[in-house]
Amino acid sequence: MQSLKHTTFEQPEATKLAFENDGGVIIDNFISAEVAAKIHTAFVAALEDEPWCNIEDTDRVLGNKFFGLTTKRLHGVAQYDPEIINCLTQKCFVQFARHYLGEKIIMSTGELMAIGASEVRQALHRDGDSWYRAGISSNILVSANIALTPFHQSNGATVVVPGSHLWDRDRQPENHELAFAEMNPGSALLYNGQVLHGGGANSTDTTRIGLYFGYIPAWLRPIENTTKTLPEDFLNSLPSQTQKLLGYCSSGFDVVL
């Protein structure tokens, strides 16, 4: 069993080294535990209203198998609390993404991921494969999964395969090559779009909750269309630089020009 390195944004060189060598690194205190608790509270009502993915809907069966049968996912997350926008636009996070992706970046998607009791481990995958048809060989995605509740191996902490972003595509990991992103509320897993990873199995009676954001180069099409997932009034109330990071422009589609 491997372990992921822990750093802080006050250790930029160590963070970059771990990110480049392992494909993923845990940033301790990405936000404070108090802010994590505040954000968690903002989602409570919406999570209660959201059904588990085991609903009997034949159009979603394949999706359920991948996303999990006792998992909940929320989108349009930026509107739930001002602190969420602060996470997305955190200076160190944005600078880090721009270091690897270029100056012009946009959010690919924002998502709340809740892994419920008895969930099985998700299939290992590469998030960058969402754009596999583009045939791009370099990394095009920098993601952060922020713990809003404790992440433990037993309750669904994200499984990561350190170094797999450098592997041949056909290589499959052995069990001893897996690592678990165990972290306290407020810490975040920062990871490369080409590293193998997946949601962990939850053998507890609690729900593991994480807040995800991913950045891509602005010339790529994002997964989330914020003009559909976020209210127009909310988007128009944001500073112009935040609008650009969300891929939104009130006057049209010239946001990245």
Lowest mean pLDDT among 46-50, 98-102, 178-182, 253-257: 253-257
Tell whether 168 is covered by a domain: yes
Tell whether 255 is covered by a domain: no
Residue 64 has pLDDT above 80, yes or no: no
In this structure, the chain runs to a length of 257
Give 3-state DSSP helix, strand, coil % of the chain, rounded to 5: 35, 20, 45
Taking CA atoms, 140 is separated from 125, 132, 189, 193, 219, in Å, by 15, 11, 17, 7, 10
Pairing of strands 24-27, 6-7: parallel
pLDDT per position as a tens digit, 195-251: 999 999 999 999 999 999 999 999 999 999 999 999 999 999 999 999 999 999 877
pLDDT per position as a tens digit, 28-47: 999 999 999 999 999 999 99
Tell whether 18 is covered by a domain: yes
**pLDDT for 53:** 75
CATH of the domain at 166: 2.60.120.620
Tell whether 252 is covered by a domain: no
Tell whether 250 is covered by a domain: no
Share of the chain above pLDDT 70, in %: 93
| Distance in angstroms (rounded) separating the CA atoms of residues 62 and 68 | 10
Residue 254 has pLDDT above 60, yes or no: no
pLDDT per position as a tens digit, 65-100: 777 878 999 999 999 999 999 999 999 999 999 999
Mean of all residue pLDDT scores within the chain = 92
The domain of 29 spans 6-245
Closest CA to 100 of 216, 212, 241, 4: 216
Which residue reads 């001002």 in tokens? 82
**pLDDT for 256:** 47
The amino acid that residue 178 corresponds to is L
Tell whether 253 is covered by a domain: no
| Distance in angstroms (rounded) separating the CA atoms of residues 208 and 115 | 5
Q: What domain count does the chain have?
A: 1
Tell whether 254 is covered by a domain: no
| Distance in angstroms (rounded) separating the CA atoms of residues 161 and 195 | 7
What the block records as the tokens of 79 is: 């509107």
Tell whether 208 is covered by a domain: yes
| Distance in angstroms (rounded) separating the CA atoms of residues 106 and 220 | 9
**pLDDT for 255:** 46
